[in-house]
Amino acid sequence: MRVLLINVSLRPESIEKLFPIGLGYVATAMKKAGYQFDLLDIDAHRFTDQEVEDYFSTNIYDVYCLGCIVTGYKIIKSMVALIRRINPQATIIVGNSVATSVHKILLTKTEVDIAVLGEGDEVVVEVLDHMLHSKPLNDIKGIAFTQNNQIVETGYRCPIKNISDLPFIDHSIFDVGIYLEASKVSVSDAVPFPREQARAMPVNTARGCVAKCGFCYHVFNNVPFRFRTEQSIVEEIKQLHDKYALNFVFFWDELTLFSKKRVKDICRELIDSKLNIYWTGTCRGDLLNKEEDLELIKLMKDAGCIGISYSLESADADILKAMNKHMDVDQFSRQTELFHKGDMNVWTSLVLGYPQETPETIKKTFDCCIKNGIYPSSGYLLPQPGSEVYEYALKNKYITDEEDYLMRLGDRQDLRINLTSMSDDEFLDAVLDNLKRCNRELNIGLDEEHLIKTQHRYRSTRDQSDEV
């Protein structure tokens, strides 16, 4: 049985190339189970559409495995249609949130055969086992497929209980050199050595999140938050350090630091390892906001942390409540003050466009960023299937054709849907004006012409999507 794993490229124009953690775990599980397979890493090599088609035409497989986040639905649909045209007898398996959140659409509107619901480490191996021995798929929990023109859902699969027991990703399956070279772009300027010397990789420390934000969806929704032991994490970093001369780690999680105890445990383990690895991670915006927490921030710095990400999303209390953020702006500001006092870099993100959003709430949110000395990563609200805000958009007829909406999806930096009472132009202008104001008042030095051109791209994307 010939098997092909495919790593699609969601952002082929981007200079960033981010190692595919999820696919890495699946590939490692397959290799450990004894399966031989080929890997077509489109994102690493940035193969053109023609190069991909040529590969499919000259390399025929029995099984094709791929997936991505739900915003890449149109990419998956196009690619599986190409596979099916070239190889009508193939079995096509798709995972990640594009399968978990919209499996019914995926199985009825595309050429996908099997959708993996949830984490795929164990599931894909079971599917391959059943195919190899011609056994029915019905007894494999955690998948959906079409049988006799009906969608079969095999039922809930219990999540992997102890993710510390999972094997470390076998990076040798991938062209690691490409990702290490590209990592220089993603490493912050705050790193205490020349960026061109950076050798960075992502490491996953947990699966899921303790929060239930209304705009968020991921494959671990409604699954208990699970995290690896500090010893497991540091041992993986040590292996990467020894094999690839790693000197920087992106902790690639929805949530890395979820408690003060977790901060202490990870930092002490890193310090004791004497690896001298620098790193970034994530926490909630209200984790460390008491004066005594400054000692923990100093401990993070001693352990190699150069900065931390946590989301403001909005500075309006009503919008934060609608988001289920369970955090107030004062907590965010106090935490930011302490991180700055501890000489730590801080990054935050905004979600703009909840139904309650107005020019005044947008200004309030950017005022908070300016007050706290943070230039934010700003994005428009992008209702994702499975989230509360997606159900709101369906109920209120903002989305009337779900597949049409999925085909329009992309990065959150583009306005794809407007749930506010503002016109699109009023909304876009309010965001642009505040980005420019934030840029000037914080003396960031971004080219405002570039901001304007970017905003024109937003408008162009909106106008083109209206013609679909």
Q: Where do the structural domains in the chain lie, given as residue ranges?
A: 3-150, 187-307, 311-317+331-468
Furthest CA-CA distance within the chain: 65
pLDDT surpassing 50 at residue 462:
no
pLDDT surpassing 80 at residue 225:
yes
Q: What is the CA radius of gyration of the chain?
A: 23
What's residue 468's pLDDT?
28
> Is it true that domain 187-307 has CATH number 3.30.750.210?
yes
For residue 89, is it left (φ>0), alpha (ψ between -120 and 50) or beta? alpha
Q: How confident is the model at residue 453 (pLDDT cuts 50, 70, 90)?
A: low
Q: How confident is the model at residue 460 (pLDDT cuts 50, 70, 90)?
A: very low
Which of 136-145, 159-168, 212-221, 434-443 has the least mean pLDDT?
Answer: 212-221
Helical segments of 5-59, H only: 21-32, 42-45, 49-58
What's residue 461's pLDDT?
41
Chain centroid offset of residue 177 CA: 22
* 205 neighbors 228 (Cβ within 8 angstroms): yes
Mean pLDDT of the chain: 94
* Spatial distance between the Cα atoms of 257 and 241, rounded to a whole number of angstroms: 22
Percent of the chain with pLDDT over 90: 90
* 368 neighbors 332 (Cβ within 8 angstroms): yes
* Spatial distance between the Cα atoms of 93 and 91, rounded to a whole number of angstroms: 7
Measure the N-to-C terminal CA separation of the chain; round to a whole number of Å: 40
Global pTM exceeds 0.85: yes
* Spatial distance between the Cα atoms of 59 and 209, rounded to a whole number of angstroms: 40
Q: How confident is the model at residue 19 (pLDDT cuts 50, 70, 90)?
A: very high
Task: Please determine whether the domains at 187-307 and 311-317+331-468 fall in the same fold group of CATH.
Answer: yes
CATH of 311-317+331-468, one of 1.10.1740, 1.10.357, 3.30.750, 1.10.3470: 3.30.750
The pLDDT tens digits of the residues spanning 288-297 come to 999 999 999 9
Q: How confident is the model at residue 379 (pLDDT cuts 50, 70, 90)?
A: very high
Q: How confident is the model at residue 465 (pLDDT cuts 50, 70, 90)?
A: very low
Q: In the structure encoding, which two tokens stand for residue 224, read together?
A: 């208990």
pLDDT surpassing 90 at residue 220:
no
**β-bridge mates for residue 71, sequence order:** none
What's residue 455's pLDDT?
58
Look up the CATH superfamily of 3-150: Response regulator (3.40.50.2300)
Q: In the structure encoding, which two tokens stand for residue 254, read together?
A: 């929805």
Cβ neighbors of 8 (< 8 A, separation 6 or more) are 42, 43, 66, 68, 72, 75, 76, 79
Averaged pLDDT, 178-189: 94
């500090």: which residue's tokens? Answer: 230
Q: How confident is the model at residue 215 (pLDDT cuts 50, 70, 90)?
A: very high
